[in-house]
Amino acid sequence: MAISSGGLVLVKEMRQMLPPSEQKIADYILANPEKIVTMTVSELGEMSQTSGAAVTRLCKSLKLKGFQELKLRINGDLGRKIELTNRDIQPNEPVSTTIQKVTEHAVQTLLETAELLDNTQLELAVNAIVNAKNIHFFGVGASGIPAIDAQQKFLRIHKASTASTDLHMGATIVANSNKDDVVVGISFSGSTFEVEKILELANEKGATTISLTKFGQTPVSQIAKIHLSTSPTREANFRSGATSSRLAQLHVMDILFMSVASKQFDTTITYLDATREAIEGIQNQTFRKKKK
């Protein structure tokens, strides 16, 4: 199913990177989303005190096919329109309320991430990993979790992989990389110093670099040759430990893994069966030893 929403998030996050005339259009769209879906290009240009040509340029800046796609995405946003409750937990609130808040925010984050993923960039990442000799995942703090998870997944399908969360260890690994390798740097903010340094080193060594950051231009995404995005949705104050952003990063890594598996379907099944049988065999041996 094609993604047909996410227009408002796209406009909001790209606003600061647009020229003044396109910012005026973006401001009008964000203030009047219900009106946009029935407007023509010239009508939006007139209402935003710009021009139809500026509207067309805005759509290009947003990497959309045209104004019609922008309207479809905004209409999808309005149709879905998830009304979120206060994201932060409150003192002694009922567990049912906490369940609702955490779940609603997680669902919104995953949907926005799917909407903002660039298919072209994803295809480039998939092809790079399919052809890679080694894959090196790097992330610090909470972003180290999807790095470790991704390594475990790709090892199961016979893709030589490493995962590091320490700058010195990451640099040691990447220092020996080359054009046959892929280095994936993960940082929600897109401004994590350690991730920047690892990707810079990887570029020097000729490796293919992939970044995974929140949507928009960031120092990390600008360094990488290929860029994947997650929802820019910010954490609530009580959940500064990267709750929803971690879910979004894991979601993208799952999509990347499944896409690679699809490209190598037959061999993937063979490797997954082999790893499953090996694990089950070890577990059965352990169980028999315990019974003795």
For residue 184, give the CATH number of its domain. 3.40.50.10490
- How much is the pLDDT for 235? 55
- How much is the pLDDT for 183? 98
Query: Can you tell me the distance from the alpha carbon of 198 to that of 183, in angstroms, rounded to the nearest whole number?
Result: 8
Number of H helices, E strands in the chain: 14, 5
Number of domains in the chain: 2
Q: State whether 249 and 150 are in the same domain.
A: yes
Return all residues near 90 (Cβ < 8 A) that are at least 6 apart: 97
Domain end position, chosen among 27, 55, 80: 80
Q: State whether 74 and 123 are in the same domain.
A: no
pLDDT, tens digit, for every residue of 184-209? Answer: 999 999 999 999 999 999 999 999 99
Q: State whether 73 and 122 are in the same domain.
A: no
pLDDT, tens digit, for every residue of 152-171? Answer: 999 999 999 999 999 999 99
Does residue 93 fall inside a structural domain?
A: no
pLDDT at 85 over 50: no
Q: What is the DSSP letter of 229?
A: E
pLDDT at 271 over 70: yes
Does residue 2 fall inside a structural domain?
A: no
Domain interval for residue 57: 7-80
Q: State whether 147 and 226 are in the same domain.
A: yes
Who wins on pLDDT, 292 or 163? Answer: 163
Is 193:171 a contact under the CB 8 Å cutoff?
no
Is 150:133 a contact under the CB 8 Å cutoff?
no
